[in-house]
Structure 1
Amino acid sequence: MSDYAIEAHGLVKNFDDVRAVDGIDLTVPKGSILGILGPNGAGKTTTLRMLLGIIDPDEGGCRLLGHERPLDAAHDVGYLPEERGLYPAMKAFDAIAFMGALRGLPLAEGRQRARVLLDEAGLGHAADKEVRMLSKGMAQTVQLLGTIVHRPKLIVLDEPFSGLDALNQAKLERLIRSQAEAGVTVIFSTHVIAHAERLCEDVAIIAGGKIPFSGKVSEARDRLRPQVRLETRCLEGAWRSAIPAECQPEGHFWHFTLPETGVEPLLKALVEGDAGVQSLAIERPGLHDAFVAIAGEAAAAQMERDQEEEEA
């Protein structure tokens, strides 16, 4: 038995003359939360659909939950596509049960589970309301519950936070964590770095149809050296040799990359050189900094524009 829920190699997908996905390799450990992070148009949705067998790759292949043909694992997968859609005349609990039935869950059992899930989500009062009567956030929660009602081993969410207010985003984050704690593998795509940073131990950075990095968030951040913010009373002295020569103060503040020798030699030079240390902070790079270093300034700027357009 493999330790991976997904093992993909060399995935390529062309649409006319456009190569949407260009040779992607990806492994997803069972029970993990993987964030696929990149701007709109980077190839996130196309990649997810190939992983699930919804569309076939032009090159490469994927093993899903031990199946050589991804569609053979369909009943063990919960998939929330980016394009949301529920039958407006259905009652909320029936809509959830219906989605479960599409994955092989008996309808009567699905209705029972749906009511329990709605209660747990704080929407028990809406169980018998038609979908058309629900708010956007409530309707999206209903669709999400329909994605998990059959108790899948793998949950795949395409831009699940899109269109949700902060309260509903927090509810969704809690649900994702609870599924992972129960041993379910969760994959979600997003163009918002904060969601990946809060939720994920593993991340795949995608840009231009390629994945230049896939691994632990900590490994991505470790590609960059920590930054030093230092405030000194003095501006000159022998201790200046411990600070990069190109670094210039802003008032009495210095901002520079921590030397490879580490913090202890720096501290020793500052103290012995009577720099008059007022404050010293070592700041580890965040996932945003790592994304910029790995995917480039253009991809990071595009993600910021995507987020601004969504919030507008």
Structure 2
Amino acid sequence: MSTVPGITLNNGVEIPQLGFGVWQVPPAETEVAVRTALEAGYRSIDTAAAYENETGVGAALAASGLAREDVFVTTKLWNRNQGYDATLRAFDDSLAKLGVEYVDLYLIHWPMPAADRYVDTWQAFEKLYADQRIRAIGVSNFQIPHLERLFDGAGVIPAVNQVELHPYLQQQELRAFHAEFGVRTEAWSPLAKGGALLTDPVVAGLAEKHGRSAAQVVLRWHVQLGNIVIPKSVTPARIAENIAVFDFALDDADLAALEGLDRGRRTGPDPDTFNLGYDG
């Protein structure tokens, strides 16, 4: 069973560097997938209210026999629930679905700059954090201008910004900004959507060189960059494969080759315009 190293957040809380994501895992399949991941050695689970599978995550946690403090649980506030009071209500709803008394990391799922509620939302996050109902608070899909505006009125700097990040979208400027302010970078869609990355000749060549899968090469690249990473699969063999990336290393030439793949190409929504689920 793989041992995943921890990453220390800016408040001293430690998160496993590699966790299990459940985006687009159907609710009916979530409990089995999460139980499989926990059995494979994952100790960090990433969900969200919008995924509609928090209940399955909670059922898997309850069935696992693991102590609550041994599993790092992340969930996210959905867009329609931004705003101070709505955030507090939504958090209670997520806790109930997860069947836990606290979460380890709570994220604003999207900035929705046109709605302009994320500063008020962050104030609710700070209250929940002060009340010790969340061990760390952060954001997701925030660009540098969104972070700068948040910092202006924030009493707590986000511990994490979870963003789309993979060799085709390396987010170097954003990662440098995070490093300057002590925000940890967490990668969603770490293998990119569509499969093109995993058949890229550079990635395929490195996989052959190291005797590993293409996915393992890309996940190892994330690990060596210092990213927190949350691959997702419902296939037991791939779930086990994705966590087995801590017993080999990419060399400088490998890293340079992967750096050369950056195309600034998103496969998900643009955070500056994405507004799905906001009701006005």
TM-score scaled by length of structure 1: 0.35
Name whichever structure is richer in strand by fraction: 1
Larger Cα Rg: Structure 1 or Structure 2? 1
TM-score scaled by length of structure 2: 0.38
